[in-house]
Amino acid sequence: MVKLRSAQWYAGEDRNAYIHRAWMRRGVPDDAFSGRPQIAIASTASELTPCNAHLTEVAASVRDGVHEAGGIPLNLPVVSLGETQMRPTAMLWRNMAAMATEEMLRANPIDGVVLLGGCDKTIPSLLMAAASVDLPAVVVPGGPMLTGTFRGKPLGCGTDVWRLSEEVRAGTLSQEQFTRSESSMIRSRGHCNTMGTASTMALVAEALGTVVPGIAGTPAPDSRLLEGAHGTGRLVVEMVAAGRRPRTLLTKASFHNAIVALAAIGGSTNAVVHLLAIAGRLGVDLRLDDFDRIGSRVPVLVDLQPAGRFLMEDFHRAGGLRAVLREVRDLLDPDALTVTGRPLLEHLEDAPIWDPEVIRTRSEPLAAEGGIAVLRGSLAPDGALIKPAAASPHLLRHRGRAVVFDSIEDFHARIDDPGLDVDADSVLVLRGCGPKGYPGMPEVSNMPLPRKLLAQGVRDMVRVCDGRMSGTAYGTVVLHVAPEAAAGGPLALATTGDLISLDVEARRIDVEVPADELARRTPNEATVTGFASPGRGWERLYVDHVLQADTGADLDFLVGSSGSEVGRESH
Domains of the chain by start residue, with CATH: 37-147+187-348 (no CATH), 148-185 (no CATH), 373-551 (3.50.30.80)
Query: 560: left (phi > 0), else alpha (psi -120 to 50), else beta?
Result: left
Confidence of residue 531 (pLDDT cuts 50, 70, 90): low
DSSP 448-493: PPPHHHHHTT----EEEESSB--TT--SSEEEEEES-GGGT-GGGG
Across the chain, what does the average pLDDT equal? 94
Residue 166 predicted with pLDDT over 90: no
Angle between the N-to-C axes of helices 252-264 and 197-208, in degrees from 0 to 180, rounded to the nearest 10: 140
Q: How many CA atoms lie within 13 A of 556 on its CB side?
A: 8
Distance CA 155, CA 266 (A): 19
For residue 535, CA distances in Å to 96, 441, 529, 539 come to 17, 18, 13, 8
Query: 350: left (phi > 0), else alpha (psi -120 to 50), else beta?
Result: beta
Nearest to 127 by CA among 272, 248, 246: 246
DSSP 276-323: HHHHHHHT----HHHHHHHHTTSPB-B-BTTTSSB-HHHHHHHTHHHH
Distance CA 547, CA 484 (A): 10
Looking at this protein, which amino acid is placed at residue 47?
Answer: E
Query: pLDDT tens, 97-111?
Result: 999 999 999 999 999
Distance CA 10, CA 277 (A): 34
More confident residue, 530 or 365: 365
Percent of the chain with pLDDT over 90: 82
Rg (CA), the chain: 24
> Phi and psi dihedrals of 50, rounded to 5?
-55, -30
Query: pLDDT tens, 179-216?
Result: 888 888 889 999 999 999 999 999 999 999 999 999 99
Helix residue ranges, H only, 29-93: 55-68
- The confidence score (pLDDT) of residue 532 equals 55
Instruction: Specify the pTM.
Output: 0.95
Angle between the N-to-C axes of helices 270-282 and 94-107, in degrees from 0 to 180, rounded to the nearest 10: 30
Confidence of residue 530 (pLDDT cuts 50, 70, 90): low
Confidence of residue 528 (pLDDT cuts 50, 70, 90): low
Distance CA 367, CA 373 (A): 14
**In DSSP terms, which residues pair with 500 in a beta bridge?**
400, 511
Confidence of residue 525 (pLDDT cuts 50, 70, 90): low
Least confident of 268-282, 366-380, 405-419, 527-541: 527-541
Query: pLDDT tens, 289-345?
Result: 999 999 988 999 999 988 889 999 999 999 999 999 999 999 999 999 999 999 999
